[in-house]
Chains A and B, each alone.
Chain A
Amino acid sequence: MTATSDREQMAYVSAQAADARVNVELDTGDMTLNIGPQHPATHGTLRIACQLDGEQVVVAEPIMGYMHRGYEKLCEVRTYPQCTTLINRIDWLGSFANEVPFILAAERLMEVEAPPRAQWIRTILFELSRIANVALFLGDMGVQIGALTPVFFAFRDRERVLNQIEEVTGGRFHPNFDRIGGLKDDIPKGWIEETRSVMVKMRTFCDEMEDLLVGNEIFQARCRGVGVIPPEVALGYGLSGANLRASGVDWDLRRDANPGLSWDQVDWRVWTHPDGDSFSRYWVRLQETREATRIVDQLLDGIPSGPIMAKVPRIIKVPAGEAYISTENPLGEMGYYIVSKGDLGPFRVKIRTPSFNNISIVPWVMRGVYVPDVITILGSLYFILGDIDR
């Protein structure tokens, strides 16, 4: 080694040492910020432990389980009809939709099929609970970004849909209406016309949301290009529902794996968006709400006549076997894996809830975003706490 290179080497080393000193002096260290479990943006008790560098997120880790209620275990000590009371409360905003896959799985084990009229009314109520659920998201996304007004519109108009659900089932939130082999009751008189007018109002509501939020420049500035999830990552993390479709994956269980409801009887389409950002997740849900009102309209036109209950024994015993049925719930794919040993109640129930998978992408999607974007992304992923922890 020559003298010059020695000198260069020395200069390099001392420069590095100086850099290191500056770095140590300027290094402010990461700050840990717990978003939740008591935080308005987590609407419930989700906790996101964020490592922050200034306002930038280094690592964000969702910590679940604050609201674990042990439904899978509780189902094991209940009879099949009793289980629906529990599973109503998993995704509490769209509770009728929770019952359907469970009942369908039990029906498959028993080899019973609900009569056509029951299937149609099931599908209508399913779509109504989707509208009631997603309408709240459409307004709530505004609150996450700071616009207070849309959520009040959402609460106002969701009430109309809840009224329709209540008129049939007797329950606003927890209908507990689905039975193995059919439904508890028929629809009341005059309900079809009322529901039709409510659907018109919900379409107006969607137009309002489009005016208030989708077309708003600040909303677009906050949501476009924020929290982009490419399709392969979305598939890899097991995302489902509108979150997956917003990443451009054309996948909808209502069309692809219809387990015995009436979606194949009507004309509708699956909406996708190529961008995969927060904005596209909002946009896809908005279009799906519109589409759902159209599905309900068409279903209302053609409800077949007949009984609403198939012939099932008074005391339901499900034969031994295993069945997994999943449906496209408001939040995504929701499925029940029922293992029966031929008793009054299930031996084991595994509940696959969409929010659990949807929220598990948080560490991936929240690297390097700013704190305000954490809230936007959380809002646009749209989870229900009960659906994560069950």
Chain B
Amino acid sequence: MTTLLALPYWQETGIKLGLALAVIPTTSLILVYLFLFKMMAFMQSRLGPNDTGPYGTLQLIAEAIKFLQKEDIHPEQADRRVFRMAPVVVLASTFLLYVVLPAGPDAVVENLDTGVFYAMAVSSLSVLGILMAGWASANKYALLGGLRAAGQLIAYELPLILAVMGVVIQAETLNLQGIVEAQATGEIFGFGAIGNPFILTQFLAFLIFMIAAQAELTQTPFDMPVAETELVGGFHIEYTGFRFLLFFMAEFGTAFAFAALASVMFLGGWWIPGFDVDDNILNVLGPGVMLAKILLVAFFIFWVRFTYPRLREDQLQKFAWKVLIPLSLANIVLTGIFKVVF
């Protein structure tokens, strides 16, 4: 790996930190505007925000100001310290996810050798924050939501990791950059012009990954932890103002991060056919390609969200343990056999 600029370590870290701080709110705002405001309105045959600014884009700022103005309320019985920490823990898990997401040969905050492992590990940190929020709120709905979230996220962590194993076996690396390179240099029956995006060979793993990610993100049909119509918001029922905004940003930021993981591992990441894998121009073009792929994946996530009803907790667990996990194990076995044979 060549470095673009030779900078001292602390300057490099400062730039990366600033970038990450700017990127996460921006990405979640993009998703909120495009999908939650516009696409949802289109699907439900209503207008959506269209008065504030061009095409209603300034609505986002209005919403942000609204959240900032609101009073920060704690329930009387709440465990205050834990209550305050919970949204930060959830958002921290999102921040940590962004560390390893690559957007170009050098455009990555930290190129970890065990990137996949790291991403899977930090993504499950959010369970902790959600449980903290559910428990500390001193609210029965929040408690039910928190417990549901814990059960659900632990159950769906497994198929998520097992689905990724197939990709890791095929790419022979845990490094996310390595996975992109493996796809870029791969060949489909000797035809290497578009590389070998793993969605072709690992389609089952891709499906399992997307379903499990849907559950990890607590999006419909797996949104029992929030379930507006029964738990009235679940674990974040007692949160107001900025703390709620943190949860909200974490939700969409994580959706963005999971879409990014899916596009890195299955759709070829930032690589553009016709370029060398370490071509410097990809540092500029790569983020655009990544964004397009992420929005495509996110579109499917939100499409399902706006279309399907919600499962029940026991049905969800049954689906995870009886369908997804056996399927992903079978996928690993198949991938292993093909790896040995070819």
Contacts and interface: CB of A to CB of B under 8 A. Distances in A.
Interface of A: 31, 33, 39-41, 55, 142-149, 152-153, 156, 212-213, 216, 218-219, 221-222, 370-375
Interface string B297-328: 00000000011111111110000000000000
Interface residues of B, number: 28
- The majority secondary structure among interface residues of chain A is helix
B311 A144 contact: no
Interface stretch (B61-69, B113-121, B227-235, B278-286): B227-235
B3 interface: no
Interface of B: 40, 43-46, 140-141, 144, 220-221, 223-224, 227-232, 306-315
A55 B313 contact: yes
A147 B308 contact: yes
Contacts of A144: 229
B220 A371 contact: no
A222 B306 contact: no
A40 B234 CA distance: 13
Given A146-B227, A153-B45, A375-B229, A222 B314 contact: no
Given A156-B45, A221-B315, A146 B309 contact: yes
Contact of A145 (B43, B141, B307, B309): B309
Contacts of B220: 146-148
Nearest to B230: A375
B232 A372 contact: no
B140 A33 contact: yes
A324 to B, nearest CB: 38
A156 B306 CA distance: 17
Which 5 A-B pairs have CB atoms at the shortest separation, nearest pair first? A146-B310, A152-B44, A145-B309, A147-B309, A375-B230
B309 to A, nearest CB: 4
B311 to A, nearest CB: 6
Contact of B312 (A33, A213, A373): A373
- From A39, A212, A218, A370, name the one whose CB has the most chain B CB atoms within 10 angstroms: A218
B230 A149 contact: no
Nearest to B228: A40
A158 to B, nearest CB: 13
A39 B139 CA distance: 14
B155 to A, nearest CB: 15
B44 A149 contact: yes
B148 to A, nearest CB: 8
Contacts of A145: 229, 309-310
Given A39-B232, A146-B223, A221 B45 contact: no
A40 B231 CA distance: 9
